[in-house]
Amino acid sequence: MDKLTVLKEYFGHSQFRNGQADIIDNILAGRDVLGIMPTGAGKSLCYQVPALMLRGVTVVVSPLISLMKDQVSSLVSAGVSAACINSSLTPEEYSDTVYRACRGEYKLLYVAPERLETQEMQRLISSVEISMVTVDEAHCVSQWGQDFRPSYLHISGFINSLPYRPIISAFTATATGDVKEDIIRILGLDSPFSITTGFDRKNLYFSVMQPSNKYTALRQLLDSFGDKCGVIYCISRKNVEEVCEKLNNDGFSATRYHAGLTDEERRQNQDDFIYDRKRIIVATNAFGMGIDKSDVSFVIHYNMPKNIESYYQEAGRAGRDGSPAQCILLYSGGDVRTNNFIIEKSREENPDLSDEEKEIMLERDRQRLKEMTFYSTTTGCLREYILGYFGEKAPNYCGNCSSCANGFEETDITIDAQKIVSCVYRVRQKGNYFGKGMIVDILRGSKNEKLFSLGFDKLSTYGIMSDVSARRIRSEIDYLIAGGYLALSEDDYPVLKLTALSPKIVKERIPVKMNLPKEKTPLGKKREDDSFYAESPLFSELRSLRGKLAAEAHVPAYIVFSDAALRDMCRIRPVNTAQFLTVSGVGKRKAEMYGEEFCRLIREHIASNPDEEKAPDGEVSSMQKQLDSLREMAVGQRNQAPKVWTDDEERQLSEEFSKGMSIADIAKVHKRTSGAIRSRLRKMGIIA
């Protein structure tokens, strides 16, 4: 079997994505490889396809149990013999898996790095031919990476203990130049074929908001997303608890995840999210690595992460099936202070490093935080900033981020810059430096008592920008910091300082221009064809059938089929096995398992809806506009006045929910928000 046949028969795809074929060809030629590919780019296929074509077994080193279980479930569902060895197995399951592995019954065996030096793995080495060792999340091997795991240092010892050297393949979503060099050196990759496929995820819409009230902004976003599935990242356990509690009180289906919970509760909450019992998970960065849930439609960062690498990896958990998805960051200056504290504290948590190494890592983390802060305050294209950070050139307009979607215009801020720098200088003359908040208050003429007690109301710069919003002044200050005209100290309470370039603003009066955004809207444009099919009645029916089959098999719904596959079914409308095999994501095994039931449902839907037509090419846009117009009218009517629930409406609501209607569909029927429906169901005692 050639690689394309394997791809189609087992995984249901007719062509490879960018870089996949090159990686597979090099592996099949016996060469080590290093693949740097963004989350959702299809890294797993790069080693799974050749694993099925190579003679022996492929050992996949993976960092998390959830990642292994997810991958194995998907492979077994596709007809591939695969298993995992980790601490989640019972003693009986563990013995049986090792026994079958030693008999060569598996083509792929997923192993936690801690298990590589056990007696069972030594038995495996002497029993079967290991043709390839694959290292997933390979950046964990480098102490300069954002997720260093000491257990990954066992991998090279395991490889060296083998009676012959297998092919070594390593994959990661994010890696700077230093981390890439570490991966090659520590894993001992031999003249590897190295490829970076590009970090751009075109289906992701990036947005940064600076709301005055984060929770209010979060509520508005979640209401606009309806019943879509998503992740909300918070910077601390306390934030996770507070946000999750508020969401549940407001009728949202949310659960929580952080390191302070028991192992059992973390597992239960994660499963509730994966199996769609909860639509939202509020979590710290302890959640996510290896979560292959394909229908995550949004990732919201309630707080700014401490580096671009972490942000892009976490945001990349949205839209893994290629569907349009939202990646939204709610930024505030307090996030910078909190992250500075976390970075300083991390120095105490690395006893194995020398003082010199600690200082190097501390300085590197501070610089990463600066880059993350610049991203959060830039008025330029957000996608260009991210790609530029990873060394990838990009146009300064992507059309799919909040800066580009809302537009921005070049504005002369020379006078404002002079006022700001002068204010910092005047405050310094008083013998002090202060943070951005105090400088903004002085410039806007605040009546702050502390300001008066320090005599800052007597400064010549007091109130000279009273007609400018605090948000704009802060944006201009951030721009001056990014340009080196001002500096922000790295203390627990950072203050603004002058730099060697500051005089150029005041004395030389150099012109200063920056892009200032027009009024922002948080949501990106939907891809019209996907939106049309996802909102069709057939899609809801297919999703219900998928849910039923998944429950019977005790697997997450996306293991049966992704949302992207269901939309493709709506587009193709297959009524027999041959047509069903043309659906993206349908391989031979899945066609045998599910084809008859899905085709029967589609035939029945077509027979029951003879006047319903598929969206003809070129006409989706106008149809989408009509749908959008109708939604706008409904929202307008809904917002005119609050509606009281009648007894008849509540009875109807109970019947609709008991029949399996989604909350989004019920909301459309009653012309109310999904949040209002959830809240009413909670008050009626129907949902928890």
Q: Which of 141-150, 165-174, 351-360, 611-620 has the highest mean pLDDT?
A: 165-174
How large is the greatest C-alpha to C-alpha distance in the chain, in angstroms? 85
pLDDT value at 622 more than 60: no
Low-confidence winner among 231-235, 491-495, 633-637 (lowest mean pLDDT): 633-637
pLDDT at 47: 95
pLDDT at 180: 87
Give dist(CA 331, CA 538) in Å, integer.
39
pLDDT value at 31 more than 80: yes
pLDDT at 638: 38
Low-confidence winner among 43-47, 70-74, 145-149, 443-447 (lowest mean pLDDT): 145-149
pLDDT at 166: 94
What interhelical angle do 43-53 and 20-28 show, nearest 10? 30
Model pTM above 0.85: no
pLDDT at 637: 37
Give dist(CA 143, CA 181) in Å, integer.
12
Indicate the burial class of 34 (C-beta count within 10 angstroms; 0-12, 13-18, 19 or more). buried
Give the residue ranges of DSSP H helices in 54-111: 65-77, 91-102
Q: What is the mean pLDDT of the chain?
A: 83
Average pLDDT of 218-231?
90
The pair phi, psi for residue 674, each rounded to 5°, is -60, -35
Q: What percent of the chain has pLDDT over 70?
A: 86
505-540, pLDDT tens digit by residue?
988 889 998 877 665 444 444 444 555 566 678 888
- Is residue 94 within 8 A of residue 88, CB to CB? The reply is no
pLDDT at 535: 66
The pair phi, psi for residue 411, each rounded to 5°, is -125, 135
- Is residue 221 within 8 A of residue 328, CB to CB? The reply is yes
Provide CB contacts within 8 A for 415, sequence distance 6+: none
Nearest to 330 by CA among 251, 216, 230, 408: 216
Give dist(CA 44, CA 443) in Å, integer.
54
pLDDT at 659: 67
Give dist(CA 376, CA 333) in Å, integer.
10
Strand pairing partners for 110? 60, 84
Sign of the Cα torsion 456, 457, 458, 462 reads positive
Length of the chain: 688
Nearest to 415 by CA among 509, 514, 497: 509
pLDDT at 353: 65
